[in-house]
């Protein structure tokens, strides 16, 4: 049976570039001719856009780690979110760096649940002026706190320069990313995307309970 990997689009602001970057990552993996990305039982990738989820900040009275069954959640929206996250075996978090961290919307979405995340492999893809390495470090720490299995490799996509950022990223403009063109922005990061994805696939094959 093939695994399902949820690709979390972590920016909910308008305008935003996050969906384009998630598409680039998914297409890079899906068009890769190497390893598990091309194998017969390759995992299914499903995008999960946080902008489509209403998860109120003060929504749940319980401690997520103490919830043993989704029926214990107080809100239908949390039960739906629990069902979504439970339906995937691993995750790719695609996130901008905001003030050296990751978006509040992502932390809120993570903190609504606990047991749904535990033990699942994760891949971190960040972007920003310097690739979002500070965001990646914070997110990795949180995922370890959730007893997830984050891949040791990260994908960090740096902006080509300040003028580019002002004209494109900050305005949510079309970045013209192309997962198949050698001339595309971030084409040189495609091997890293595939390599970190392969690490996630290997983590999926580990018996549950083993952790890095
Ligand atoms: C609240 C906020 C904080 C930001 N902080 C950073 C930062 O620390 N480093 C950086 O390189 N860019 C930073 N930026 C610029 C973002 O990289 C840029 O706005 C990008 O488009 C955000 O991704 P998004 O459009 O998908 O939301 C920040 C943007 C916002 C809105």
In this predicted model, what pLDDT tens digit does every residue of 44-61 receive, in sequence order? 999 999 999 999 987 789
pLDDT value, residue 211: 46
Expressed in angstroms and rounded, the spacing between residue 157 Cα and the centre of ligand 1 is 13
d(CA 58, CA 51): 17
d(CA 53, CA 63): 20
Ligand 1, atom 17: nearest CA belongs to which residue?
128
Question: Relative to the CA of 169, which ligand 1 atom is closest?
Answer: 21
Domains, the chain: 4-205 (3.40.50.360)
In this predicted model, what pLDDT tens digit does every residue of 11-51 receive, in sequence order? 999 999 999 999 999 999 999 977 666 666 789 999 999 99
Ligand 1, atom 29: nearest CA belongs to which residue?
98
In this predicted model, what pLDDT tens digit does every residue of 132-150 receive, in sequence order? 999 999 999 999 999 999 9
Task: Report CA 116 to chain centroid distance, whole Å.
Answer: 15
In this predicted model, what pLDDT tens digit does every residue of 142-185 receive, in sequence order? 999 999 999 999 999 999 999 999 999 999 999 999 999 999 99
Phi, psi torsion values for 79, nearest 5 degrees:
-60, -40
Give percent of the chain with pLDDT exceeding 70. Answer: 94
pLDDT value, residue 94: 99
Beta bridge partners of 128: 158
């Amino acid at each position: 049976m093939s695994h399902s990997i949820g690709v979390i689009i972590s920016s909910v602001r308008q305008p935003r570039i996050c969906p384009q970057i998630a598409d680039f990552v998914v297409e890079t993996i899906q068009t890769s001719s190497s390893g598990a990305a091309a194998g017969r039982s390759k995992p299914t990738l499903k995008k999960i856009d946080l902008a489509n989820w209403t998860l109120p900040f003060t929504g749940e009275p319980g401690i997520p780690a103490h919830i043993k069954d989704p029926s214990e959640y107080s809100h239908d929206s949390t039960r739906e979110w629990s069902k979504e996250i439970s339906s995937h075996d691993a995750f790719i978090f695609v996130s901008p760096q905001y003030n050296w961290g990751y978006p509040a919307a992502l932390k809120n979405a993570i903190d609504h649940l606990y047991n749904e995340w535990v033990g699942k492999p994760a891949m971190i893809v960040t972007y920003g002026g310097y690739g979002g390495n500070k965001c990646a470090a914070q997110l990795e720490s949180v995922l370890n706190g959730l007893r997830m299995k984050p891949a040791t490799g990260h994908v960090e996509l740096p902006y080509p320069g300040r003028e580019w950022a002002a004209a494109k990223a900050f305005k949510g403009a079309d970045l013209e990313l192309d997962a198949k063109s050698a001339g595309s922005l971030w084409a040189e990061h495609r091997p890293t995307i595939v390599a970190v994805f392969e690490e996630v696939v290997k983590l999926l094959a580990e018996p549950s309970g083993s952790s890095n």
